[in-house]
């Protein structure tokens, strides 16, 4: 399974999964159809699956046009997003399994950004593979999603699930928010040398218009304050030793940043 990152809208990423042995493709969160159709034509590949993480229009906006072109496509989404994802046929819950080509993936229920948000994790199946996490707007490089429909407790629970994945897991998050996220992170975790180094690398990459996605779980554990709500230095910064309150205060500070 090859993963390709397609830029869309102003700062979205769509992820195209390609199985070259069968020349089939799946797409994660097609914000718009154009970039997907263009790449499928270049690959001469058939789209068979749409994996949606949540119902927001900048993640499902391309569904209907893709279904017009490929009417046999199966559309996946969260069980609690019923009626909110165009064309959805499969309704997934925590622990469900999905397949694409030869790879099998696990579904995580990760509410917080929305009440029905899910993520897809494809673990490595051979020694030469790495895990692939498609987390929508729950986890970002250096940040996490705003709490539009969920609670701080839900988001802490959701991020805890993702934080437990192997460090080398690639994190395919759906927006190019990394530089701004790290600017905020430095205001609450200014003594973190790993964060300082990452910020300089990201600043240089963005000056060249290079993407900063994917990240890795290991890098997020070192530098993302929303993976570090239980770190004593950050808890001291937000004046709380309660994990959920620490997270909520960090998220509130980021909302005002």
Instruction: For residues 199 and 196, give the distance between their C-alpha atoms in angstroms, rounded to a whole number.
Output: 5
By C-alpha distance, which of 203, 211, 180 is closest to 6?
A: 211
Residue 96: active-site member = no
Alpha helices in the chain (DSSP H): 34-43, 57-60, 63-69, 152-163, 178-188, 193-207, 217-223, 232-238, 243-255
d(CA 31, CA 9): 7
Give the chain's count of helices (H) and strands (E): 9, 14
Residues 40-95 pLDDT 10s: 999 999 999 999 999 999 999 999 999 999 999 999 999 999 999 999 999 999 99
Which residues sit opposite 47 in a β-bridge?
A: 25
Residue 144: name the closest of 187, 89, 88, 185 by CA: 185
Provide the whole-model pTM: 0.96
Mean pLDDT of the chain: 96
Q: Do residues 188 and 253 make contact, with C-beta atoms less than 8 angstroms apart?
A: yes
| Catalytic residue, candidates 18, 29, 55, 58 | 58
Please report the domains of the chain, with CATH numbers, ordered by start residue: 2-255 (3.60.15.10)
| pLDDT score of 39 | 98
Of 59, 81, 96, 117, which residue is the catalytic one? 59
- pLDDT of 55 reads 98
55 catalytic, yes or no?
no
Q: Residue 15: which H helix or E strand, with range?
A: strand 12-19
Give yes or no for a contact between 149 and 114, defined as CB atoms under 8 angstroms apart. yes
Q: pLDDT at position 126, please?
A: 84
Sole residue written with tokens 């569904």: 63
**Secondary structure class of 173 (helix, strand, coil):** strand
pLDDT, one tens digit per residue, over 132-165 is 999 999 999 999 999 999 999 999 999 999 999 9
Annotation marks residue 175 as catalytic = yes
Q: Is 168 a catalytic residue?
A: no
Percent of the chain residues topping a pLDDT of 70: 100
Q: Has 59 been annotated as catalytic?
A: yes
């Amino acid at each position: 399974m090859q993963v390709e990152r397609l830029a869309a809208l102003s700062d979205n990423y769509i992820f195209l999964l390609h199985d070259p042995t069968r020349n089939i493709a799946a797409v994660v969160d097609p914000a718009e159809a154009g970039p997907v159709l263009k790449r499928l034509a270049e690959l001469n590949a058939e789209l068979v699956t749409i994996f949606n993480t949540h119902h927001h229009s900048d993640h499902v906006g391309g569904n209907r046009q893709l279904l017009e072109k490929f009417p046999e496509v199966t559309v996946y989404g969260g069980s609690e997003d019923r009626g909110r994802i165009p064309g959805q046929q499969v309704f997934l819950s925590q622990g469900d399994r999905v397949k694409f080509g030869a790879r099998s993936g696990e579904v995580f229920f990760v509410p917080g950004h929305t009440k029905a948000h899910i993520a897809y994790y494809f673990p490595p199946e051979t020694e030469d593979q790495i895990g692939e996490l498609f987390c929508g707007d729950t986890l970002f490089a250096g940040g996490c999603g705003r709490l539009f429909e969920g609670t701080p407790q839900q988001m802490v629970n959701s991020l805890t699930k993702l934080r437990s994945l192997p460090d080398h897991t690639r994190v395919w998050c759906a927006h190019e928010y990394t530089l701004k996220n790290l600017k905020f992170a430095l205001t609450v975790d200014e003594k973190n040398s790993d964060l300082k180094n990452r910020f300089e690398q990201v600043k240089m990459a963005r000056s060249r218009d290079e993407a900063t996605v994917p990240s890795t779980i290991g890098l997020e554990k070192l530098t993302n304050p929303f993976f570090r709500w239980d770190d004593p230095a950050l808890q001291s910064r937000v004046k709380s030793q309660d994990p959920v309150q620490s997270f909520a205060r960090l998220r509130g500070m980021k909302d005002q940043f």
